[in-house]
Amino acid sequence: MFSEKELEGYAEVLLWGLQTARRRKFKKNDVVAVRYHLPARPLAEILYDKLLRMGLNPVPRALETPQMEKSFYVRATPRQLKFVPAGDESLNQHLNGSIHLYAPESITHLSDVDPKKIGQAAVVRKYLRDILTRREEQGLFSWTLCVFPTMALARHAKMSLKAYARQIAAACFLEQRHPVRAWQEVHQKIRSIKKQLDRLPVERFHIESDTIDLTITPGQKRKWLGLSGRNIPSFEVFISPDWRGTQGVYYADQPSFRSGNYVAGVRLEFKKGVVVKVGARKGEDFVRRQLEMDPGAKRVGEFSLTDRRFSRINAFMANTLFDENFGGPHGNCHLALGSAYTDAYAGKTALDDKLRKELGFNDSALHWDLVNTEKKRVTAILKGGGKQTVYENGEFNY
């Protein structure tokens, strides 16, 4: 699927992403977890060797197989569902980095599992994610992730395995002589766009397409994020808005797989920041159950735009990491229900729980990206009453 040169390049890009995502430089003997599905073992082995050469301590962790995951949700008693190995908390409290190699051998094996059980397990384990979030805010931790091609992903994307691998290689610049250099160039261009967006005195954004008529309120003390190194590939520019200002209708024309379930044509209607009406062409019952996970699941945690000039992804990949970065003829926007990104906070004082609530940063065990690839316009309604088109025909106007 990948040549040795491409695997080496992929590993170098991931390490660039991990270091770029971190506010402080890595120190000798810092701890980095490498979590991987079994098909991605060749890439995990290269990363393990490179991390040792960097003077870091790699901690490899093979992820559950589809059969293991299915057994857990089918067999687990209520007590087993809430069980968390003590070592998981201790590891998270000492981690300085994490690289996730997503290479599932199935993405539909949980389709007949009660979504409520999946949600319960996620809620119980949320505190583990919170530990890493706090460490990241302190500059002690960073993470990145990527996709490794498998037959399961290729089949659901309706591609051959070779074609799927080529999409990944093209999107991640692995076919180029210097993949990291290519990422650095895109990084600079996206940084310029973020700076210009941050300068705008925006009161709210109005998103319009054939199926969308939505208002997003960025909120106070916010900054735009994008290509931080956390996701490979990543071309999106996004913000975690004040969830209370979301109003109108959003539609996801791109399908998605979540917890083994295929969902398509999701339509959400918001009033005063909360989803009040849900519809879906496929998987509506599953969508409704996801939104019942906790109070924050019906609120917005992220709004994102991808510029088609940067993204070389032009096909549905049956994977959110790629699909939320779709370029195609019109770029894309996506809305994430659930948890917000606290690094979108631009204030000078520490963001504690009280301030997070005051500023409207949403909190939830859910984070679900729903993508729209239609032709659209995004208009900034400025403080004082002016208007400015910031995104149109798949491109930022910068």
* Per-position DSSP letters for 115-143, written without gaps between them: HHHHHHHHHHHHHHHHHHHHHHHTTS-EE
Q: What does the alpha-carbon distance between residue 338 and residue 367 come to, in Å, rounded to a whole number?
A: 5
Give residue 116's pLDDT. Answer: 87
First to last CA, the chain: 37
- Enclosing H/E stretch for 247: strand 247-252
Q: 178, 206, 234: which is the final residue of a domain?
A: 178
Whether residue 203 sits in one domain with residue 274: yes
Overall number of domains in the chain? 2
205: amino acid identity, one letter: F
Confidence at residue 119, expressed as pLDDT on a 0 to 100 scale: 87
The closest of 256, 249, 280, 277 to 266, measured between CA atoms, is 280
Task: State whether 150 and 197 are in the same domain.
Answer: no
At residue 19 the predicted structure's pLDDT band, cuts being 50, 70 and 90, is: very high
Contacts of residue 118, Cβ cutoff 8 Å, sequence gap at least 6: 73, 110, 259
Same domain, 201 and 95: no
245 with 156, same domain: the answer is no
Per-residue pLDDT band for 1 (boundaries 50, 70, 90) equals confident
pLDDT digits over 266-298, tens only?
999 999 999 999 999 999 999 999 999 999 999
Report pLDDT digits (tens) over 131-163. 999 999 899 999 999 999 999 999 999 999 999
Whose CA is closest to 104, among 73, 129, 75, 68? 68
Angle formed at CA 31 by CA 28 and CA 37, multiple of 5 degrees: 135
Q: Dihedrals φ, ψ of 372, to 5°?
A: -120, 130
Q: Which of 123, 154, 178 is the last residue of a domain?
A: 178
Contacts of 260 (CB under 8 A, 6+ apart): 106, 107, 108, 109, 110, 111, 112, 113
Angstrom distance (rounded) from CA 379 to CA 397: 11
The number of CA neighbours under 13 Å toward the Cβ of 207 is 25
* 60-110 confidence digits (pLDDT tens): 999 999 999 999 999 999 999 999 998 999 999 999 999 999 999 999 999
Query: Is 188 found in the same domain as 122?
Result: no
* 329 and 244 belong to one structural domain: yes
Q: What gap in Å lies between CA 301 and CA 216, rounded to an integer?
A: 11
Could you tell me if 219 and 360 are in contact, meaning their C-beta atoms sit under 8 angstroms apart? yes
What is the average pLDDT across 334-362?
A: 95
**Contact criterion met (CB below 8 Å) for 116 and 267:** no
Question: Pick from 310, 308, 372, 312: which is nearest to 336 by CA?
Answer: 372
Same domain, yes or no, for 167 and 184? Answer: no
Of 134, 154, 178, the residue at which a domain comes to its end is: 178
Query: What CATH number is associated with residue 128?
Result: 3.40.1830.10
Q: Are residues 382 and 254 part of one domain?
A: yes
CA distance 166 to 153: 13
Tens-digit pLDDT profile for residues 30-61: 999 999 999 999 999 999 999 999 999 999 99
SS3 content of the chain, % helix, strand, coil (to 5): 35, 25, 40
Phi and psi at residue 317, to the nearest 5°: -110, 0
For 239, the domain range is: 180-396
Displacement of CA 63 from its chain's centroid (Å): 19
Task: State how beta strands 31-36 and 57-62 pair.
Answer: parallel
Q: What pTM was computed for the model? A: 0.89
Band of residue 196 on the pLDDT scale cut at 50, 70, 90: very high
Count CA within 13 A, CB hemisphere, residue 167: 29
Residues 168, 191, single domain; the answer is no
Is pLDDT of 260 > 90?
no
Please, which pLDDT band fits residue 377 given cuts at 50, 70 and 90?
very high
User: CB-hemisphere CA count at 13 Å for 126?
Assistant: 15
Shared-domain flag, residues 104 and 18:
yes
Encode burial over 244-267: b for 16+ CB neighbours within 10 A, e otherwise.
Answer: bbbbbebbbbbbbbbbbbbbebbb
Distance of CA 280 to the CA centre of its chain: 22
Answer yes or no: do 221 and 139 share one domain. no
**23 pLDDT more than 90:** no
Nearest to 89 by CA among 143, 126, 53, 51: 126
Cα separation of 361 and 240, whole Å? Answer: 7
Tell me how far the alpha carbon of residue 316 is from its chain's centroid.
16
Same-domain pairing of 95 and 201: no
